Amino acid sequence: MTTPALQTDPLAPPLLDAQGRRMTYLRLSITDRCNFRCTYCSPASWGGKKDLLNAEELGRIAGIFAALGIRRVRLTGGEPLIRPDILEIARRIASIPGVRHLAITTNASHLEALAAPLREAGVDQLNLSLDTLSPETFRRISKQGDFDAILRGIDAAAASHYASLKLNVVVMRGVNDGEARALVEYAHARGITPRFIELMPFGQGVPVPTAELMDRLRGEGLDLSAEPEETGAAADSVTSGPARYWKAPGGRVGFISPLTQNFCGGCNRVRVASNGDLRSCLGGRAQAPLHQLIRGGATDVELARAIRAALGDKPEGHRFTEPGNGATLLSMMGIGG
C-alpha cells in the first residue's frame, strides 16, 4: 500500500492518511461567522477568527487538493452565504480541473436570492439545515435568525434544479425529537432527502441514538427498509459520506450516527478551517497552518508536503465518546462542520 511517506511526487495523487484511507472530499470553511446562534454549534462567546482566506487563496488551496485527488469540495461555515463574494468563490472552485462536485452546507436563510445564481455558478449540491418546523422551537435552538426566510430559501432551492438536495436535522432530546416524522414528510414533499444527525459533543443538548429515533419513526407508521449496500464500481468514494440511507414510501431517509455507529472506518474527508488551518480530524486538534504558508510565499509543492504531513497524523477514529473529551473540542463553528 502506498503511504504518504512513500509518495514520490508530493503533488500527485493519491492523497492518503495514516491508515491508508484515500481522501477524495474536501470540506472547506469559508467563514466561521453566522447569522444564527444555534446552541449545539455556536457558543455565545465565539468571536470568530481573523484574517479569513480570500477568494484567490481559497481557490489555490482547492486547486492543490484537486491535484492531489480531491474530487468533491463542500463549502461550509459558519454560514457560507453571508460572504459577499460567495458567487466568485463558487465559480473559482467549480472551474478547477478535477473537481466533479461542488456542494454547500447552508442554513438556507439567504437562498431565496442566491439559490438560482449559485446553481448557475456551478454548485450542484446543497445541504439545508432545518431542525424544526416550529417557529417557537427554532427560537429555543437559535436566538437569532429569520425562520420564515429559511422556509422561503428551501423552496427556492427546490425550484432551482440542483442535482442533490438534503435536509440536515440535528436531533435533540426534548427539543425537536418529536418532529422527525413531520420533517420527513416536509422534505419528501419538496424532493429533498432528510437526514437525521446524532448530536455531537460540541455544544448544548442531549443526543438521541439513531436506533431509538428509527424505532420511533416506525412506531409512528413510517415504513423504513434498508437500502442494499453498493460495492465495486457502483460505490462512489467521491460522493459517499457518513450517512446510511433507508427507503421510505416518499423517498430516502438518511441517518448520521457519529456516536452509536462510528463512521470513521470509511473516512474520505479532510477539513480546512476558514483561516486556513488544515484539520485532519473533526474530533481532534491536530492542524497545519496552510494560511501562514501561503502568505509566507510557500510553493505548491511545499503546501502539498504540509498537507501530507498533517494527514500522516490523522487518527484512526474520533474520540467524541472518551470521558471529558467534549471540553477539549472546538465549537462546530470553529472547525467548519
Query: Binding site for S-adenosyl-L-methionine: which residues?
Result: 40, 78, 129, 200
Query: Is the N-terminal amide bond of 326 cis, ω within 30° of 0?
Result: no
H helix or E strand, kind and range, residue 127: strand 125-129
Dihedral pair phi/psi, residue 329, rounded to 5°: -85, 150
**Residue linked to cell 436566538:** 143
Residue 147, class by beta-carbon neighbours within 10 Å (0-12 exposed, 13-18 middle, 19+ buried)?
Answer: middle
Query: Residue 264: what are its φ and ψ, rounded to 5°?
Result: -70, -25
Annotated binding-site residues for GTP read 27, 74, 105, 166, 269-271
Closest CA to 60 of 239, 335, 276, 279: 276
Annotated binding residues for [4Fe-4S] cluster, written as ranges, equal: 34, 38, 41, 264, 267, 281
Q: Please give the annotated binding residues, written as ranges.
A: 27, 34, 38, 40-41, 74, 78, 105, 129, 166, 200, 264, 267, 269-271, 281
Contact (CB, 8 A) for 89 and 83: yes
State how far the Cα of 118 lies from the Cα of 161, in Å rounded to an integer.
Answer: 11
DSSP 279-324: ES-TT---EEEHHHHHHTT--HHHHHHHHHHHHTT--SS--TTSTT
Backbone angles phi, psi at 243, to 5 degrees: -75, 145
| Rounded Cα gap, residues 200 and 117, in angstroms | 33
